[in-house]
């Protein structure tokens, strides 16, 4: 095509996996004439978002409606601002499947600009995380958030893993070290979720005039009922154990529940007993499953009738912000903690890792609350 003498070359390629895009980016950097290289389908979205970084002649955006793999013109202009991208822009993104629910781009991209950091954060629909990191080895790809269902598999993809993440067995943040390109794994979910729960309980106790020792966690000694044994569930379980809670794990796959319960000296109970499980009053309920996430907002991991046994209910789901579980828990008199608060706290830590310390908390918190 290049030898045909055309002024501009355009390629439209079908891709099955996000790893199929690597040759596209290579073509953009080596072509001797202006090149438009784009792909079709959800897994090709970053070809549009990152094309300008690698020298693409132009990028496409849809004027209206949802077209798989094609960002809207509004998002290109307002969220990603790709006109400011250049060859030195560092790429960050969420590795997940599904990935369309993520609010990460709405948080990280404006914050990059706010602190003057030359970076872009994009959604990455990844099927095989091991293959993804085998293909994307460039220093251009500087850091990653890790979402469902890759948090546990991500541990094996890292060259080094922070001790907390290693003990949990789940990584939700990966940074490529600039000096040698090695992948370093962290877990920012654990402290984010547990401190959000602790702070909410302290507020409840203070409002009720209940004096508590400041040097002990308000969840110490409590029954901590956890639904979900994936990456987020592991973070919650290890966090609860570290604070002295008694952890009970429910998961549709009972073997996974047993494995997690054994790791935190807790107890695994079959999922079908969740509705009748009530060893005491004033327990803590934590949903770390995807039940209730958009588009299935009508669902809840537990019925409203049993929520009266819980002093606090936490939901890791943050889309929507006020899930059916949280609505019904509030009606039952429980203190509720949205996954949005966990999202904010883990994102602050994550952003510091991405930028070597920068994290304007007030700006980021305001931005998240405006988006949800």
pLDDT digit string, tens, across residues 229-254? 999 999 999 999 999 999 999 999 99
Please tell me the distance from the alpha carbon of residue 235 to that of residue 221, in angstroms, as a whole number: 18
Which of 45, 70, 86 is where one domain is finished? Answer: 86
Query: Do 18 and 100 sit in the same domain of this protein?
Result: no
**Dihedrals φ, ψ of 232, to 5°?**
-65, -40
Q: What is the DSSP string of 45-61?
A: HHHHHHGGGGT-S----
Q: What is the pTM of this model?
A: 0.88
Query: Do 149 and 75 sit in the same domain of this protein?
Result: no
Query: Do 208 and 333 sit in the same domain of this protein?
Result: yes
Find the domain containing 60 and state its range: 1-86
For the question of residue 151 being annotated catalytic, the response is: yes
Q: With a cut of 50, list the residues of the chain below it in pLDDT.
A: none
Query: Do 330 and 208 sit in the same domain of this protein?
Result: yes
Query: Do 235 and 344 sit in the same domain of this protein?
Result: no
Q: Name the domain count of the chain.
A: 3
What CATH number is given to the structural domain containing 46? 3.20.20.70
36 beta partners: 10
pLDDT at 372: 75
The tokens describing 209, both together, are: 């005039």
What CATH number is given to the structural domain containing 236? 3.40.50.720
Length of the chain in terms of residues written: 372
Please name the residues in contact with 286: beta carbons below 8 A apart, sequence gap of 6 or more: 193, 197, 224, 225, 226, 227, 236, 240, 313, 314, 315, 316
- Which among 59, 150, 50, 63 has a CA at the least distance from the CA of 105? 50
Query: Do 194 and 103 sit in the same domain of this protein?
Result: no
pLDDT at 148: 87
**Residue among 53, 90, 103, 151 flagged as catalytic:** 151
pLDDT at 246: 98
């Amino acid at each position: 095509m290049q030898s045909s003498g055309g002024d501009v070359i355009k390629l439209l390629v079908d891709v099955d996996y996000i790893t199929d895009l690597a040759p596209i980016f290579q073509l953009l950097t080596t072509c001797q004439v202006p090149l438009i290289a784009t792909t079709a389908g959800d897994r090709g979205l970053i070809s549009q978002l990152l094309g300008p970084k690698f020298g693409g002649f132009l990028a496409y955006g849809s004027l209206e409606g949802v077209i798989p793999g094609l960002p809207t013109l509004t998002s290109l202009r307002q969220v990603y601002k790709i006109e400011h991208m250049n060859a030195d822009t560092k790429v960050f993104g969420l590795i997940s499947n599904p990935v369309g629910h993520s609010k990460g781009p709405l948080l990280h991209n404006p914050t990059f600009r706010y602190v003057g950091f030359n970076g872009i954060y994009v959604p990455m629909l990844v099927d095989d995380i091991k293959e993804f990191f085998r293909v994307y080895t460039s220093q251009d790809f500087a850091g990653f958030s890790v979402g469902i269902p890759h948090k546990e598999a991500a541990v094996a993809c890292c060259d080094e893993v922070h001790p907390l993440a290693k003990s949990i067995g789940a990584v939700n943040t990966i940074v490529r070290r600039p000096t040698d390109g090695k992948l370093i794994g962290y877990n920012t979910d654990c402290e984010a979720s547990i401190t959000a729960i602790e702070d909410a309980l302290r507020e409840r106790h203070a409002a009720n005039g209940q004096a508590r020792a400041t040097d002990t966690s308000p969840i110490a000694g409590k029954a901590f009922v956890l639904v979900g044994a994936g990456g987020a569930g592991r973070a919650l379980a290890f966090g609860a154990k570290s604070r002295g809670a008694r952890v009970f794990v429910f998961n549709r796959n009972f073997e996974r529940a047993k494995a997690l319960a054994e790791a935190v000296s807790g107890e695994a109970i079959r999922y079908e007993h969740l509705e009748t499980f009530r060893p005491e009053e004033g327990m803590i309920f934590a949903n770390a499953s995807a039940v209730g996430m958009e588009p299935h907002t009508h669902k809840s991991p537990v019925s409203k009738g049993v929520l009266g046994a819980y002093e606090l209910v936490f939901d890791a789901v943050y889309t929507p912000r006020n899930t059916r579980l949280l609505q019904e828990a509030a009606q039952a008199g429980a203190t509720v903690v949205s996954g949005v608060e966990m999202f904010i706290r883990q994102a602050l830590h994550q952003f510091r890792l991405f930028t070597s310390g920068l994290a304007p908390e007030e700006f980021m918190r305001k931005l998240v609350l405006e988006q949800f």
